[in-house]
Structures are given as C-alpha cells and as structure tokens.
Amino acid sequence: MTRNRTNRPCATKSASKGFTLIELLVVIAIIAILAAILFPVFAQARAKARQITCLSNEKELGLGMMMYIQDYDETAPFFRAVLNPGDWWTSRMMNWKDFIYPYIKSGGRPYNNGTPYANQGDGGLFFCPENSTSWSGAPVWWDPYSGSGGVGDESTRFPRGYAVSTDAGVNENGASGKFWPCVGDGSCDKNTGALATLQTPAGTIMIAESRLPFPDTSSEFSTYQCTLDGVPSGGQRTSCIQGHRGGFTNVIFFDGHAKAVRATVAIEKDFWGAYGPKGYGSVTQANRLSSAQQIQEWNPGL
C-alpha cells in the first residue's frame, strides 16, 4: 500500500526579520566610534599635507634666493628698499620678495611702480596654505596696529607667510649688527649682506614662516603670541612664527636647504644665529626658550 504524499504539508521558511532597534543603535554607535577615530587622523593628514606644501615652496624659495646671491657676488638682496626716502613705510617700499621674484617659477607680481593691484593674485611659491592671514583682512605690513586691512603684502604683489630673519649676523656683528642690506632709511646700510660674513651659513636661519604683516622676523617672535590677524599681542597662545603640528616650523638656511625644526630646538641650538658671546648671549637665550615653552603651539601639553 502506497502512501499519498500529495497532501503532505510542505515546510516553509520563516520570513526574515529586520534589524531591531538595539541592533541599529549598535551599528550607529560603531560608526560614531570609527568616525571619532578616523576624523582626527584625516585632519592630521590634511595638516601634514599643508606643511609639506609649505616646505616644498620654501625649498624653491631657497633655490631662488641662492641664485640671486650667486648672481650678485655672494650678497643677499635688500630686505627693504625705496627709491625715494619719502616712500619709506608706503606701498612703494620694496622688500626681498621683489628682488628674488625673477628667480621664482610661479607666484607673485611685478613691482608695478608701487601701485597696489585691485585684488590678490596667485601666491604660487610665496604662499603657505597653513597661514590664515596671507591675503585679505590682514593689516598692511607697514601699519599693523591701525586695523586698516590690506591684501597681501604692501601692494598685493605677494602673500605673507615667509619672512627673512633679522637675527642673521648678530653672532658675528653684535646685537646691533645687521646682515640684511637695505636702502632709503637713515638706519640702513646698503653695503652689508655678504654671505662670507656668516660663520655657519648651513646652520643659520635665512627665512622662516611667519604670521606677521612684516617681510622680516626674528627668534624673538617665537615667544610672542599673535592675534588672529597677525599683530604680536593678544594672548592667543599662538606664536607669531607660523607653526605646524608637534611644535614644528619650516625654515630655510643660508645654504639654501629647507627643513622642519622644532621651534624650541631652533632657539636651544641657536639656529637663529643670535645667542653667541657677541650676540644676545645665553641668558637671553634661556629666557626666550622659557617664554616659547609657554606658548601652546610649541607646548601642546599646556
């Protein structure tokens, strides 16, 4: 006798269930944790990329500066100059960027008789993307305390961000000694700037990153706290020397090479070339090192 299988009930799969509320919350929590972990990593990667861009630009600026120096009998360009003494601290004042401009592959604009351009141009190699006051909104560099806004340097030709070090030559010539030549002001000496006068060109900072409106800076500004628009006061715990993550800043040395150094180490090892026996001395060096360590940018533990 055969059994009738046609009426045998078929086994059916149970309908699949969706996520429960608890499971959804767990997934959301995992995503939030991953985001909290990865977003700072992405931010650090972007900041590192900007630092690398700034350093790459500095290497090119260093090459341009060295080409100028070689073409002019191993002598540095004027760091400030005017054709007429009455043009001092006006838009007609030139700075070192104007003189090395022909040697730089990209960025900047011609002098234009000192007439400001209507808008900002292409910063190119003169632009550091880490600097928030490179162009519009920052004070004009000859009058940073009045609050009058400018666009870039004195005449919109160049963005800010890189400045020559006026500490250069202090170890060799004393605290009042000047390495950089300039012309047009009573305190200027147009006959300085010979590279041979520096004891250790490869260990002396020539150009540093700066938040100041000026085309020149010094180690002392490592210890000053800048306002958001680059005026050296205000207690922002942000240095007037442009910093990067980990307390680093990019600099160019007088042999043309560029590297990232810790700002406090630059003072401690006297990369600025200013704290020798003929210069400001070890007491000033220790005081400035202590002051720099009170700035959060150089001491993230604060």
β-strand pairing of 182-183 with 94-95: unpaired
Which pLDDT value is given to residue 4?
53
- Identify which of 260, 265, 268, 220 has the alpha carbon closest to the alpha carbon of residue 240: 220
Angle at the Cα of 30 from the Cα atoms of 27 and 35, rounded to 5 degrees: 125
275-298: per-residue pLDDT in tens?
A: 999 999 999 999 999 999 999 999
62-75: per-residue pLDDT in tens?
A: 999 999 999 999 99
Q: What is the mean pLDDT of the chain?
A: 86
Which pLDDT value is given to residue 1?
47
- Please say if the pLDDT value at position 34 is more than 80: yes
Q: How confident is the model at residue 118 (pLDDT cuts 50, 70, 90)?
A: confident
User: Which is more confident, 216 or 48?
Assistant: 216
Going from the C-alpha of 1 to that of each of 6, 8, 292, the distances in angstroms are: 15, 17, 102
Sign of CA dihedral 218, 224, 225, 228: negative
> What distance in Å separates the CA atoms of residue 244 and residue 241, rounded to the nearest whole number?
10
Which pLDDT value is given to residue 227?
82
Q: How confident is the model at residue 138 (pLDDT cuts 50, 70, 90)?
A: low
Q: How far is CA 89 from the centre of its chain?
A: 23
Looking at residues 14-38, what average pLDDT do you find?
A: 78
211-226: per-residue pLDDT in tens?
A: 888 889 999 999 999 8
> What distance in Å separates the CA atoms of residue 205 and residue 253, rounded to the nearest whole number?
4
What phi, psi does 248 have (nearest 5°)?
Answer: -95, 155
Looking at residues 22-40, what average pLDDT do you find?
A: 82
Give the pair of three-digit tokens for residue 153. 């340097």
Give the pair of three-digit tokens for residue 10. 């078929």
72-112: per-residue pLDDT in tens?
A: 999 999 999 998 988 888 888 899 999 999 999 899 999 98
- Please say if the pLDDT value at position 31 is more than 90: no
The share of the chain scoring above pLDDT 90, in percent, equals 52
Looking at residues 31-37, what average pLDDT do you find?
A: 83
Residues across the chain:
302
- Please say if the pLDDT value at position 53 is more than 80: yes
> What distance in Å separates the CA atoms of residue 267 and residue 220, rounded to the nearest whole number?
9
151-188: per-residue pLDDT in tens?
A: 656 668 888 889 999 999 999 999 888 899 999 888 88
- Please say if the pLDDT value at position 205 is more than 60: yes
Looking at residues 35-56, what average pLDDT do you find?
A: 77
User: Which is more confident, 117 or 257?
Assistant: 257
